[in-house]
Amino acid sequence: MPASNRPGGFNPQPTTPSVSIIVPVLNESLNIAGSIERIIRDFPDCELIVVDGGSSDNTVELASQYAKVVTSKPGRALQMNTGAVAASSEVLWFIHADVEVDARALHQIRAALGNEEVVGGGLSLRFDKRSFGLLFLSWSSNLRAKYLHWIFGDQSLFVRRSAFEAIGQFPDLPIFEDMELSRRLHKSGKLVLLRA
């Protein structure tokens, strides 16, 4: 049995490529503290950048206790692009403040990016609550991401910085900027949907 599979054996986690987590926010005071605490706990070796789009509540005050906060004009695409410019890592990972990410996701992302053909991807969408509508939404979102390569923001899109910059960042659209980005990314390389 390999040492990594023995009880108490060393099971190394890949720490490369480096990853910056970018969280766009606007009036997220109800979600931001819990979101940041989970990110810091589960992904301690990632750079964390919160991008505020002009919150009128205490989102910035709460976020600045734990993370680097940068400001941007409002608009999710503009905010995520601002965060990408401020980031220093090889991989950009965009997580919405109201999304809980499985702690295994980072390991899966790094493993997927071990394949040089992979330029990015997203995570399978799941909901804590059960209803027919939510089950259908997660099923259809995951099917769309897997076969059409349209990854939406709720699926915590990740991308190699080099690919992100090569296609010109998020397009400045009021909605569906994530779908358009993933569509462009798919033309430049492989996108993956991870189960985390």
Whether 13 shows a pLDDT value over 70: the answer reads no
The mean pLDDT of 107-125, rounded to a whole number, is 93
> What are the sequence ranges of the domains in the chain?
14-194
Which pLDDT tens digit goes with each residue over 42-55?
999 999 999 999 99
Predicted local confidence at residue 146, as pLDDT: 81
Which pLDDT tens digit goes with each residue over 54-89?
999 999 999 999 999 999 999 999 999 999 999 999
Predicted local confidence at residue 60, as pLDDT: 97
Query: Is 54:71 a contact under the CB 8 Å cutoff?
Result: yes
**Model-level pTM?**
0.86
Fold for domain 14-194? Spore Coat Polysaccharide Biosynthesis Protein SpsA; Chain A (3.90.550)
**DSSP-derived 3-state class of residue 106:** helix
Cα(29)–Cα(53) distance, rounded to whole angstroms? 13
Whether 12 shows a pLDDT value over 70: the answer reads no
Within its chain, how far is the Cα of 27 from the centroid? 19
Predicted local confidence at residue 7, as pLDDT: 36
Predicted local confidence at residue 4, as pLDDT: 32
